[in-house]
Amino acid sequence: MAFFRTVGSNDNLPSIVGDRVMLRPPQSGDHAEWAALRELSRSFLTPWEPIWPEDDLTRGAFRRRLKRYAEEQRNDLAYPFLVFRRQDNALVGGLTLANIRRGVAQAGSIGYWIGAPFARHGYMSAAVRALVPYCFGPLRLHRVEAACLPDNGPSIGLLEKVGFKREGYARGYLCINGAWEDHLLYAQLADDQH
């Protein structure tokens, strides 16, 4: 259902400029930089992510990822972005608004990752701050949700710093690194912006 939807199925996602960061949709030319940062950050990211497929960093897998992203965007289900440092256009991470529910919910969930060399420098906080107004503005969502592992202090700090409120605890919520893990649940409402 596309009730309340405002982004047309053929619309391209805009670039979103934030403090020190720029978000834009992934493109085929991003593969080499994306794969290099993900490989460099593999051990850093492993505790917080699903198990990577064997071919995850290959060009073919990246093409399939882009195709899936385009389909999800066309169907108003997800909007992926890569996060770049504005001073030199270096790729620092990724941020996706996914699991979009329209109709009476008007909600979506964010997920994000940061490359190890760029962690704890405020880039992802800036990226989330930049994305949230887009969610509540052009996408007309009422609620943006996020979840994180209870022992992921940096992610908890990020969410709380950018205005997300802790709402609950979900047992066995997501399969992370091969195990069903409990998660803390956070959300920010459009009304929180005023």
- What confidence tens digit (pLDDT) does each residue in 47-72 have? 999 999 999 999 999 999 999 999 99
Strand partners, 130: none
37-53 pLDDT tens trace: 999 999 999 999 999 99
In a domain, 78, yes or no: yes
Question: Tens of pLDDT along 73-115?
Answer: 999 999 999 999 999 999 999 999 999 999 999 999 999 999 9
Give the structural domain span for 23.
16-141
Among 129, 124, 135, residue whose Cα is nearest residue 84: 124
Tell me whether residue 168 is in a domain.
no
In terms of pTM, does the model score above 0.85?
yes
CATH of the domain at 88: 3.40.630.30
Find how far residue 160's CA is from the centre of its chain: 16
Number of domain units in the chain: 1
